[in-house]
Chains A and B, each alone.
Chain A
Amino acid sequence: MKQALIDYTLHLADNALVLCHQNAAWCGHAPNPELDIALTNISLDLIGQARNFYQYAAELINAANDPSQDPVTEDTLAHLRDAGDFKNCLLVETPNGDWGQTLLRQFLFSNYQYYLYQQLSNSSDPQIAAIAAKAWKETTYHLRWSSEWVIRLGDGTEESHARMENALQELWPYTHELFIPAAYETSCMEDHTGADLATVKSNWLEKTAAILSEATLTIPGNDFAQNGGKNGKHTENMISLLTEMQFMQRAYPGCVW
């Protein structure tokens, strides 16, 4: 089995898991019950997508490994890998910030997932295609909900507008990485198991510009890109995030609910 497909599947799983975990921190803390329910529901979809990708990655890894080795599972992949093994984009691991920043991150990432999954539902790998086709439908709701809230807050009060401008300044440098392909993405694009990021990028930019303009927000001119997450080079926040997420399995190995 090709290593690139394993890495690509882990990358997709890690993106979904890390954003799911970050959003879940808002459970019980969002500005009102409807928003609380919305973000936790999005987390639920994301953990489902992550599980589907991890289960498939585990299958690929176990098939490639020597049968005498302990098999990996969706749980060992999520809970027992170190930060350097995680292949998620830096955007999903950025600190939650205020509610506006979390919401803007959700919009920027849902918009990416929407066009990514749309392409992946035609992947030459049937399991990637099946997971993506299902996830794409869920992402449609996430994108619609987050787009509307970016507009409400951006084009809202002076205070909410200022906060959204700040959030955009903060997050924009992390968006470029979404479209800078890692070696495994290039390899998977070439054999049509993966998506063509150049097409995803042009769709993403068009939609992002339309929503941000409606929200009266200005896209930063700065093209400086924070990069490295896809290859395991993470920000400091990733360490504290994993410390919390993996605590139970690290402290009590093999414990079950």
Chain B
Amino acid sequence: MEVEEKIVSEEKKIWGILEKINDPEIPVLTIIDLGIIRSVKIAGLFPHLSGEVCITPTYSGCPAMDMIQHDIEKALADNGYGNVIVKTVLSPAWTTDWMSEQAREKLRAYGIAPPLMQEQVCTPEIFQEDRAVPCPRCNSLHTTLISKFGSTPCKALYRCEECKEPFDYFKCH
């Protein structure tokens, strides 16, 4: 029982380390905010501690994933968890619904409109009337889609017709 408790405490420490790693493209979000970390599992205790951190990519081709994996490996090694490996899992597929409310608020404050709920737009139907994306600066719903694709795979480009500012929308996925 005592060993199990110690393992849980080591896992908590690792979550604490991961909490300090930011997404390289959207530095206001941690990788935990984004929902990239799926699990942390430890087997054994020091000096025989080993285990794995499971991560899942946002988009299949997101170039930030290699960097995120490297950042995690480095942070783990720096904190004495060099035997904990990072494993990529694809299933279940990542969704913006895993993003915390806190993460949505951080995005908004950073000037990126957070994703609307998934069922709103993720279908191939053409010329659909999407629910209006509120401007992250002035909250106006009077906004226009400029481009379905943006500076990273996870974003689309919008313009606010009230405050006239262009902004990124973190698209639902």
Question: A interface vs B, CB < 8 Å?
Answer: 34, 37-38, 41-42, 44-49, 51-52, 114, 126-127, 129-131, 133-135, 137-138, 140-141, 143-145, 147-148, 151, 211, 214
Contact = CB atoms under 8 A, between A and B. Distances in A.
Interface string B113-131: 0000000001111110000
A147 to B, nearest CB: 5
Contact of B157 (A34, A42, A135, A140): A34
B16 interface: no
Given A42-B149, A45-B59, A48-B61, 15 more contacts: A37-B151, A41-B149, A41-B153, A44-B59, A44-B62, A47-B61, A126-B91, A129-B91, A131-B60, A133-B91, A134-B91, A144-B123, A144-B125, A147-B126, A151-B126
B148 A46 contact: no
Contact of B61 (A46, A114, A126, A148): A46
Nearest to A129: B91
Contacts of B57: 48, 134
A135 B62 CA distance: 12
B60 A45 contact: yes
Nearest to A55: B88
Nearest to A210: B126
A138 B148 contact: no
Nearest to A46: B61
Given A37-B149, A45-B59, A133 B93 contact: yes
8 contacts: A34-B157, A37-B151, A44-B61, A48-B57, A131-B90, A140-B123, A145-B149, A211-B126
B173 interface: yes
Contacts of A133: 90-93
Contact of A130 (B91, B124, B126): B91
Contacts of A127: 90
Contacts of A41: 149-150, 153
B28 interface: no
Given A49-B61, A134-B93, A38 B124 contact: no
Nearest to B123: A140
Nearest to B94: A134
A11 to B, nearest CB: 17
Contacts of B59: 44-45, 48, 138
Contact of A37 (B61, B62, B150): B150
B63 interface: yes
A148 B147 contact: no
A116 to B, nearest CB: 14
